[in-house]
Amino acid sequence: FLEKLCSLSNRHHVIVNYHMKWLGPREERKGDADAVKDIKEREADLIPTRLYPSAMGSKNAPQNIGQYFHTTLLVEPKYLAGGKVKRMIYTQPRPELDLKLAAELDAALPLETGLLDIFSALTGGIEKCLEAGEPDQHGLSDTETLALTDGLGELTAAPGPPPLAKETKEEEKSK
């Protein structure tokens, strides 16, 4: 499913919301032998517990779906004075969560305009989209992929929009 969703043959952008899962070393259990406890303790020193984007549902679903996307971002609430909440898009990785963005943007963008800024940076803007599939300055074409998360789940986006037609109505009629 994800391979089709992210296929380079797609001529549109896709945003996918996915959940995050904490993965790390196995925890000690009651009744573990001393040798097993020792191994688990060593694992805990070597393997950090981190957040990974994962698919919900089928046990056969890939557990690290972030690998299928060129861009992964975090959408999370920012708590303001007076009990107000503003949702922000975060572009920079954190110690517990990898994020990817092939463009230089602020570390936090407002949800209201952030996607426009991100897609403009990744595709080169509307003018670049008019160039019917020409790669942008990052080598990305109109089949760019994007992923976001919203605290409990990541919003992940895949292939880009079809290029806008350059033809006028008169040219269409003459065909």
44-92 pLDDT, tens digit per residue, is 777 777 887 776 655 555 556 777 778 888 888 999 999 999 999 999 9
Does residue 33 belong to any structural domain of this protein? Answer: no
Q: Whole-prediction pTM value?
A: 0.60
Q: How many domains does the chain have?
A: 1
Q: For residues 102 and 53, give the distance between their C-alpha atoms in angstroms, rounded to a whole number.
A: 19
Does residue 129 belong to any structural domain of this protein? Answer: yes
Does residue 71 belong to any structural domain of this protein? Answer: yes
Does residue 29 belong to any structural domain of this protein? Answer: no
Does residue 44 belong to any structural domain of this protein? Answer: no
User: Which domain, by its residues, includes 98?
Assistant: 2-21+52-173
Does residue 60 belong to any structural domain of this protein? Answer: yes
Does residue 46 belong to any structural domain of this protein? Answer: no
Q: Which of 55, 46, 51, 5 has its CA nearest to residue 25?
A: 46
Does residue 151 belong to any structural domain of this protein? Answer: yes
Averaged confidence pLDDT in the chain: 71
pLDDT at 106 over 90: yes
* Range with the poorest average pLDDT among 39-43, 68-72, 134-138, 157-161: 157-161
